[in-house]
Amino acid sequence: MGNVRLFFLLMSLASLLFLVAGLFRPWLLLWWEDVQNRRKVIKVYGTAALVSYAVYWGLCFWG
């Protein structure tokens, strides 16, 4: 169970890092999209960071 928690923690940290990088250069992280703007970066990587961090704390609480 510890490995799963660590995975979600690292995933949330990576998403947060990509979120910060995408705020400076959105095209770097959203190259597959037709429109690359900061709002999409926040939606994609912000949601991934929040969800994975919530799962991490959920596993800490219930696991």
**pLDDT of 55 strictly over 90:** yes
| H or E segment and range at residue 16 | helix 2-24
Indicate the pLDDT class of residue 22, thresholds 50, 70 and 90. very high
| Average pLDDT of the chain to the nearest whole number | 94
Take residue 8 and report the two structure tokens written for it: 């979600």
Query: pTM higher than 0.85 for the full model?
Result: yes
